[in-house]
Structure 1
């Protein structure tokens, strides 16, 4: 949503007005976690670590070349679920995510939107595929932790329950005693949309680039914004 037709603005207005609980994906809507710490390099390092253990053949060429470290982790878990090898790789990824928080870039308007939504009485949670330790570290660095605490639901050892599985979304809803229809999920990937849909939660897409917007719309998102500024304006009203 750029200039924003009246129909689009009305749809956004209805989403915002109906939300009593707001569930945020982390990497994207809240910040660009890997803005200064290349996700592609992290993925390459995880692949190299596997190859160093003689496990080159566990990954397909597509998985091996993916710029997303989560793809590497989930690929290993599919082949060796619950193994010590998966646990160690997950710890390595968490370590790299923690390093990335130092150079993470806040999403424009996210900080004031988070504070404003809290101030008007909405309850907030994070539902993410990133490590909850990483989310807490970033929110602490921005002074935003009180807006969410204790409702941070991230990656667990059950990697098969990462989004698009609705597990983290349902955990948030259950912990907050919230009905799905009174909540709103803000995400920037089709997996966020699918998780929200499976949990029965209305969805607001955030797309930093045109390509991300296309992917969200192709997946079925009906309200997509390329900036959180119009959301902030609505909440302030």
Structure 2
């Protein structure tokens, strides 16, 4: 079982937080006289990962990109304290782990932020050591399947026996490229529309039905 982090596990960027973080990145660049590194449109992009990726495309592997990535990581770490768990996900994770499923996080977020959040919820043991997040090679962010393949290789998991839960088109594309089945978590109509447009066919608006299935599997194994 592979989980994307922000969305399926928690709401790290609630409301307009992602937009405000992206704006902070743009200001960070402007303060250094580097506004021109961003193409037209990206300056108004409410996605901090797209801002980071845009700078990496212009200056790949540079110290500037490393600094901007660390700036984003610090923002993510700070948001962990206020991140709200997705409804039903904590018992889902614990129950899935208890019935013997191998779990991993595959995300574009910093693995440091993921680790801090999991520890705060008492979920570290359900995943450790399988947290595969953002690396210095930013071209490997999803939709590239790198983090999904890392998880598969580390766990010795067969792609066709693995399910990934994600809430973004990039999650679906990465899962499909790695040969992994995909379940879209769409907590609102906008999310559902974007996932369907990307080709996702299996969507849920809540993790409660999935939790009921896992409870049932646990009951069968306990008999």
User: Which of the five TM-score ranges fits, normalised by the shorter chain?
Assistant: over 0.9
- Whole-angstrom CA distance in 1 between matches of 2:54 and 2:111: 21
Q: CA deviation at 1:39?
A: 1.8
- Whole-angstrom CA distance in 2 between matches of 1:95 and 1:167: 23
For 1:181, the equivalent position in structure 2 comes to: 160
For 2:24, the equivalent position in structure 1 comes to: 45
- Whole-angstrom CA distance in 1 between matches of 2:212 and 2:20: 37
**Does the residue aligned with 1:205 lie in a helix, a strand or coil?**
strand
Question: Are the counterparts in 2 of residues 166 and 199 from structure 1 also a CA contact under 8 Å?
Answer: yes
Which residue, out of 100, 118, 121, partners 1:142? Answer: 121
**Does the residue aligned with 2:2 lie in a helix, a strand or coil?**
strand
Which shows bigger deviation, 55-64 or 116-125? 55-64
Aligned residues: 216
Q: Answer 1 or 2: higher relative contact order, Cα 8 Å, separation at least 6.
A: 1
Q: CA deviation at 1:24?
A: 0.3
Which residue, out of 170, 179, 184, partners 1:191? Answer: 170
Which shows bigger deviation, 81-90 or 49-58? 49-58
Question: Are the counterparts in 2 of residues 127 and 169 from structure 1 also a CA contact under 8 Å?
Answer: yes
Question: Are the counterparts in 2 of residues 34 and 103 from structure 1 also a CA contact under 8 Å?
Answer: no
User: TM-score when scaled to structure 2?
Assistant: 0.95
Q: Is residue 2:210 matched to residue 1:231?
A: yes
Any residues of structure 2 matched to 1:108-119 within 5 Å, and which?
108-119=87-98
Which residue, out of 109, 131, 136, partners 1:152? Answer: 131
For 1:122, the equivalent position in structure 2 comes to: 101
- Whole-angstrom CA distance in 2 between matches of 1:95 and 1:123: 29
Question: Are the counterparts in 2 of residues 37 and 100 from structure 1 also a CA contact under 8 Å?
Answer: no
Which shows bigger deviation, 191-200 or 217-226? 217-226
- Whole-angstrom CA distance in 1 between matches of 2:215 and 2:41: 45
C-alpha RMSD over aligned residues:
1.0
- Whole-angstrom CA distance in 2 between matches of 1:39 and 1:64: 13
5+ residue gaps, structure 2, are 217-223
For 1:171, the equivalent position in structure 2 comes to: 150
For 2:73, the equivalent position in structure 1 comes to: 94
Q: Deviations over 1:45-67 (max 9, x none)?
A: 11011111111111123211111
5+ residue gaps, structure 1, are 1-21
- Whole-angstrom CA distance in 2 between matches of 1:224 and 1:72: 28
